[in-house]
Structure 1
């Protein structure tokens, strides 16, 4: 008879792993997916149409800084929503082992070192898509942390997500961390070729301009110009 009065099981709950019935989990999921989509759409539109630069009267640096503020702010909101989601999720005994917290702390520290050192090496415009505004870097950054891995900012951020999940013993956090890696990987498939094309085109234009300047310096002023056709005057 007792089973007649028992509470119905939650079909969205995997005990000790994840509770998919929590709205906070899906809100965090949406935020994780939205952020890279936002900055890629806005940045590529800026590259093709110069929408932000035009609105700001040609001040492309200001446009880049405003985009940077929006991306940074959305990142803070995403991290907050992630932490809120974890509070509503179950813990797992295996993740409460004493050895897990030191591992989490090491991952979090390493991840933030990669993120912050990347930002320092690239600067604001290099970090926040300045090349889409036509603000190109003079040379490729090859020092730390770029000499240890490609895209250290993305992978450092992913490490921090994993670290927080381990620290609080939340398997759902590991699921969301996998989503972060997947979303970043997809974003990179679009960002890297697009950015490489920006610099390849800039290098091509720079080379063409250099060749034109060299040709003019050898041949003198172009035919048909005032300087080319004018008859020299005799000095008196």
Structure 2
């Protein structure tokens, strides 16, 4: 509790950049879940691209990636306007954030590589389903390596720039991702369960 209260007292709550960062962090997964569910039910983006679910998914991928860059920029700006305090002693103040960032980026990049563009950027909501579950690295280490990796990168930034406010933002990121997964995970499971049921029914009809 003393550690948490110390972090809270080290935050400059008067900075608008802090709230913009928090808004962007919550906006991204919330918006993409809403957009993706709408796509699954109504095919809105697919229709915009002449019925091409592939191009629709690529468009959403560009949007997600672009807004992710905006989110990261707002986070860096928020950190730059927050008070700086020593969090870790030497040499850990350099080594720990560097390791966290490298591991986080490794999880994010290898997740994207394993899933591909459509697998990473909600292609299943467009009807672009994978043939089988990806079980290799990093999914054999973590269930949600992309979200974990992203959270690690937020923590790395907070430690590298020595901004206690960044650690609180990182905790907020973790909470947002946990909530998002409670909606995203079951819905994705439903999509694949529906495909399996339809395939089973088709075999019975034959």
TM bucket normalised to smaller: over 0.9
Query: Greater relative contact order: 1 or 2 (C-alpha under 8 angstroms, separation 6 or more)?
Result: 2
Divergent runs of 4+, >2 A: 93-98
Q: Partners in 1 of 2:29 and 2:8 — Cα distance?
A: 29
Residues 96 and 169 in structure 1, CA contact (< 8 A), matched pair in contact too: no
Q: 2:107 aligns with which of 106, 110, 114?
A: 114
Unpaired runs of 5+ residues, structure 1, are 1-12, 214-236
1:174 partnered with 2:157: no
Residue-by-residue CA offset, 1:141-198 (whole Å, 9 max, x unaligned): 0000000010100000000000010001001000111111000000000000000000
Q: Residue in 2 aligned with 1:228?
A: none
Write 1 or 2 for the structure with the bigger share of helix. Answer: 2
- 1:137 is aligned to 2:130: yes
Q: 1:95 touches 1:170 (CA, 8 Å); kept in 2?
A: no
TM-score, length basis structure 2: 0.94
Is 1:87 aligned to residue 80 of structure 2?
A: yes
2:9 corresponds to 1:24: no
How many residues are matched? 200
TM-score normalized by the length of structure 1: 0.82
**Residue equivalent to 2:142:** 149
Aligned to 2:3: none
Matched ranges for 1:33-112 at <5 A: 33-95=26-88, 97-112=90-105
Structure-to-structure mapping, 1:155-166, within 5 angstroms: 155-166=148-159
CA RMSD of aligned residues (A): 1.3
5+ long unaligned stretches in structure 2: 1-6
